[in-house]
A and B are shown apart, each in its own frame.
Chain A
Amino acid sequence: MSTGSLLLTMAACGLVTFLIRLSFIAGGRYLPSGPAFSLFLRYVPPAVLGALIAPEIFPNGVELAALPGNPRWWAMVVALGVAALSRSVLATIAAGMLALWLVQAWLV
């Protein structure tokens, strides 16, 4: 991507984000609302996050036989546990990175 199109793409991302944030502040009357709409929005974050995480752990798809040799899988298991117990983003990142480094060193 050239510098110009990178800049344009980024500006478009900024505009879309800004318009989403402005949506109801500017004109809630004309927008869909009610319980059905908030229910739909409720499931967007977990769905997007699940879709983003999976390919980071399994860049080539899942193969059960390859699981024990995938350090990112083990790091994810640790991160899930630490996140559930600590409720802290920082602790999760720290524990997950540590687990990744340890398993990588172990497997090499």
Chain B
Amino acid sequence: MSSARTEFFGGVRAELPLLLGVVPFGLIFGVLGLAAGLPGWAVVLSSSLVFGGSSQIVFAQLFGGGAPAPVIVTTVGVVNLRHALYSAAVATYLKALPWRWKLLLAYLLTDEAFAAAIGRLREGPATPARHWFLFGTGFTLWAGWQLSTLAGVLLGVAIPAGWSLDFSVALTFIALLVLGVHRRSDAWAALAAAATALLSLGLPHKLGLLLAAAVGVAVGLLLRRFDKVAA
């Protein structure tokens, strides 16, 4: 039992530095959700129901733009599709666990929780309590995200619209994009998607977003073979 506790608090400690980036993001999301036209309760509720920062911002944005429900749900799914990679990466280490653990850890499996725990899972000792480490990172992130969203909603009421704070969403995406681009083909995928999104602005129901994502992925896959020459 004490090794479970050690693992859990090890996870909490590994996650704490990441909260430095997550808490301001939660604050911004709280403010922005309101600015996009979501009621305060919906902004707070989305943090526990969806629990995925960028996808929640996309949700608020599409809702504010009047997109229909099927488009919103599909887009949120596409934005969170990368989590399937995390799921595949941690699956080996959770194989022997009972279902309640699998369900709980799947719910908590976000970018930051995964990033802080995968090193311990891959390289640390294969003890029967090691999933508590992932629970520690996931729970810490979850708590930080809920509290910062709530604080953002309370703050958002006080921030004037003239500050163009909605632009910080685009800036968040720009930062995530730059941090995630490691090869030329990544950059080309983003550029192709951006160009397609602009050319298809006239499509109804924000469908251009999904079309652009598909074109971006296709261009990235096509140009991948040139990466090695460049590197």
- A positions within 8 Å CB-CB of B: 1, 3, 5-14, 16-18, 20-26, 28, 31, 33, 38-58, 60-62, 72, 75-76, 79-80, 83-84, 87-90, 92-93, 96-97, 100-101, 104
C-alpha gap A1/B178 in the complex (Å)? 35
Task: Convert B167-183 into 0s and 1s, putting 1 for each residue whose CB lies closer than 8 angstroms to a CB of A.
Answer: 11111111111111100
* A-B CB contacts (within 8 Å), total count: 258
12 A-B interface contacts by CB (under 8 A): A3-B39, A13-B55, A17-B52, A25-B87, A33-B88, A40-B217, A43-B186, A45-B176, A50-B190, A52-B170, A83-B178, A93-B24
Q: Does B21 contact A (CB under 8 A)?
A: yes
Interface size class of B (residues with CB under 8 A): 35 or more
Chain A residues lying within 8 Å of B106, measured Cβ to Cβ, are 18, 21-22, 25-26
Question: Are the C-beta atoms of A88 and B175 separated by less than 8 Å?
Answer: yes
Question: Are the C-beta atoms of A25 and B181 separated by less than 8 Å?
Answer: no
Instruction: Assess A5 versus B193: contact at CB under 8 Å? Given A40-B221, A89-B25.
Output: no
A10 contacts which of B50, B86, B91, B192 (Cβ < 8 Å)? B50
Question: Are the C-beta atoms of A25 and B90 separated by less than 8 Å?
Answer: yes
Question: Are the C-beta atoms of B81 and A51 separated by less than 8 Å?
Answer: no
Given contacts A10-B46, A25-B109, A53-B170, 17 further A-B contacts (CB under 8 A): A13-B49, A17-B52, A20-B80, A39-B224, A42-B220, A44-B81, A45-B177, A46-B186, A47-B215, A47-B217, A47-B220, A51-B194, A54-B212, A55-B197, A60-B201, A93-B171, A97-B165
- B positions within 8 Å CB-CB of A: 20-21, 24-25, 28, 38-39, 42, 45-46, 49-52, 55, 58-59, 63, 69, 72-73, 76-88, 90-91, 94, 102-103, 105-107, 109, 163-165, 167-181, 185-187, 189-199, 201, 208-209, 212-217, 219-221, 224
Question: Are the C-beta atoms of A14 and B198 separated by less than 8 Å?
Answer: no
B167 contacts which of A3, A72, A88 (Cβ < 8 Å)? A72
Chain B residues lying within 8 Å of A41, measured Cβ to Cβ, are 81-82, 84-85
Question: In this complex, what residue of B is CB-closest to A59?
Answer: B201
C-alpha gap A36/B198 in the complex (Å)? 29
Question: Are the C-beta atoms of A14 and B170 separated by less than 8 Å?
Answer: no
Question: Are the C-beta atoms of B178 and A20 separated by less than 8 Å?
Answer: no
Question: Are the C-beta atoms of A16 and B42 separated by less than 8 Å?
Answer: no
Give the top 6 A-B pairs by smallest Cβ distance, nearest first: A47-B216, A50-B190, A43-B220, A51-B212, A83-B178, A54-B194
Give chain B's interface secondary structure class.
helix
Question: In this complex, what residue of A is CB-closest to B103?
Answer: A22
Question: Are the C-beta atoms of B173 and A14 separated by less than 8 Å?
Answer: no
Question: Are the C-beta atoms of B186 and A56 separated by less than 8 Å?
Answer: no
Chain B residues lying within 8 Å of A96, measured Cβ to Cβ, are 167-168, 170-171, 174
C-alpha gap A33/B103 in the complex (Å)? 21
Chain B residues lying within 8 Å of A13, measured Cβ to Cβ, are 46, 49-50, 55, 59, 72-73, 76-77
C-alpha gap A39/B222 in the complex (Å)? 11
Question: Are the C-beta atoms of A54 and B171 separated by less than 8 Å?
Answer: no
Q: How far is the CB of A70 from chain B (nearest CB, A)?
A: 12
Question: Are the C-beta atoms of B83 and A75 separated by less than 8 Å?
Answer: no
Q: How far is the CB of B68 from chain A (nearest CB, A)?
A: 9
